[in-house]
Amino acid sequence: MEPGSPRDAEDARLRPTYAVVSRSRLRDNLAAVKALVAPARVMVILKANAYGHGLEAVARCLASQADAFGVALVEEGITLRQLGIENPILVMGGVWTRQIPLFLEHGLTFTAPSLARLRDIEEAAAARNATARVHLKIDTGMERIGVHHYHAEGLLEAAARSAHVEVDGIYSHLSNADADDLADARHQLERFEETLRFYERRSLPRPQRHIANSAALLRMPESHLDLVRAGILTYGVYPFPGAPRAVEVKPALAWKSRVVFFKVVEPGSPVSYGGTWSSDHRVRVVTVPVGYGDGYFRSMSNRAEVILRGRRYPQVGRICMDQVMVNIEWGTGYNGDEVVLIGEQGEARVTVEELAEWAGTIPYEILTAINDRVPRLYEG
């Protein structure tokens, strides 16, 4: 079957555990972000399998709306080009020198994080008589990749002069856009703006400037500049608890499974590895075929809840690699009943934020951890 094409949840080739991604929610979320930041443009971030939503399907779904795409790896960019995606694609990770020719072959935009790397890019482009499209990366405080803002001038100068490099953009990344106190983020933005004065001083055309991620685009309108890099918001998840609802977005992904086993557990009979949970009265316990081997974190053991027949029930005992147990007390549950791990059923809802809390992590990690064993279905 073609990647990203709709599949039927009743397809016998499909295991009972799957994720459903709503294309209409993706489109609506992006439209809401675009409306908020206009006239700034929006680069949709598709790294890590589009935050677990499926790289190919999400790219196809959003190609006509997105001004550009951002990925972490050149391989991700190549996959998009092979699908026929024509939007500009920025590879945001550092360039591994041996992979430079791949960028040129596939028309991908480089991140140039240092003068040395710019030279490598330039040399490879010159050898092919090609023009490399680059975004210069300025480190204003993240200390990850990029030239320090106080040493950036040489990179800007060399890039502006290079015959084989087209400077299409210049960017930086905020390390604290989700913090209670925005002083750090504002400071980074100031340093970035200071770096950008180079173009005025030299009367050179200024490339498109970008610094905002989801948190900054919600909280700091002054950070929108020419382009924003919208990741998690596109997927309908707010970047941190208590993020301002400056745009209304809805989660695009639901994660579902089904009851595959039902039993009654006697008082004092511990459930699952290590016997970490038992009941002091008879209970009904169902087994659901999902586990940490799918990205349902073991650290959520005895904390997670799932929805069955419109009600939330606790997951009990250790989460196994492929299965989990759920205590439905004396509630009703039959083999084949739908179990919602993330999403809604009736009035009940379980959010990716809750899973993050149970696992002691952030929604980003929950979403990107849902792995290839979990088929994705697309609707809308």
Ligand X SMILES: *Cc1c(COP(=O)(O)O)cnc(C)c1O
Binding of ligand X by 41 (CB under 6 A): no
Binding to ligand X by residue 239, rule CB under 6 A? yes
Distance CA 187, CA 189 (A): 5
Q: Which of 34, 47, 137, 256 is catalytic?
A: 47
> Minimal CB distance to ligand X: which residue?
231
Rule CB under 6 A: say whether 30 interacts with ligand X.
no
Half-sphere exposure for 13 (CA within 13 Å, toward CB) = 6
Alpha carbon of 339 to those of 198, 258, 295, 302: distances in Å?
57, 5, 16, 17
167: its two tokens: 């400077």
Site string for ligand X, 166-185 (x = CB under 6 A): -------x------------
Residue 22 touching ligand X (CB under 6 A): no
50 part of the interface to ligand X, by CB under 6 A: no
Residue choice 17, 176, 214, 272 for contact with ligand X (CB under 6 A): 214
**Binding of ligand X by 232 (CB under 6 A):** yes
What's the CA gap between 94 and 363, in Å, rounded?
24
Active-site residue, 273 included: yes
CB of 51 vs ligand X, minimal distance in Å: 7
Q: For residue 50, which phi and psi values (nearest 5 degrees)?
A: 50, 55
Segment near ligand X (CB under 6 A); pick from 208-216, 279-287, 317-325, 365-373: 208-216
Residue 175 C-beta: closest distance to ligand X, Å: 11
353: how many CB neighbours lie within 10 A of its CB? 17
Cα–Cα distance measured from residue 42 to residue 217, given in angstroms and rounded to the nearest whole number = 10
Is 251 a binder of ligand X (CB under 6 A)? no
Query: Which of 92, 182 has the CB closer to ligand X?
Result: 92
- Catalytic pick from 150, 263, 273, 334? 273
What string of DSSP letters covers 164-226?
TEEEEEEE---S-TTSS--HHHHHHHHHHHHHHHHHHHTTPPPPEEEEE-HHHHHH-GGG-TT
The residue within the footprint of ligand X, chosen from 53, 229, 258, 376 (CB under 6 A), is 229
Identity of the amino acid at 193: E
Nearer to ligand X, 93 or 314 (CB): 93
From the CB of 92, what's the least distance to ligand X, in Å? 5
Tokens linked to 8: 């039927």
47 is catalytic: yes
C-alpha pair distances (Å), 111 with each of 106, 132, 136, 213: 15, 10, 6, 16
Q: Which of 19, 32, 42, 45 binds ligand X (CB under 6 A)?
A: 45
Q: Is 230 in the site for ligand X (CB under 6 A)?
A: yes
- DSSP state, residue 97: G
Q: Which residues form the interface with ligand X (CB under 6 A)?
A: 45, 47, 92, 173, 213-215, 229-233, 239
Q: Which residues are designated catalytic?
A: 47, 273
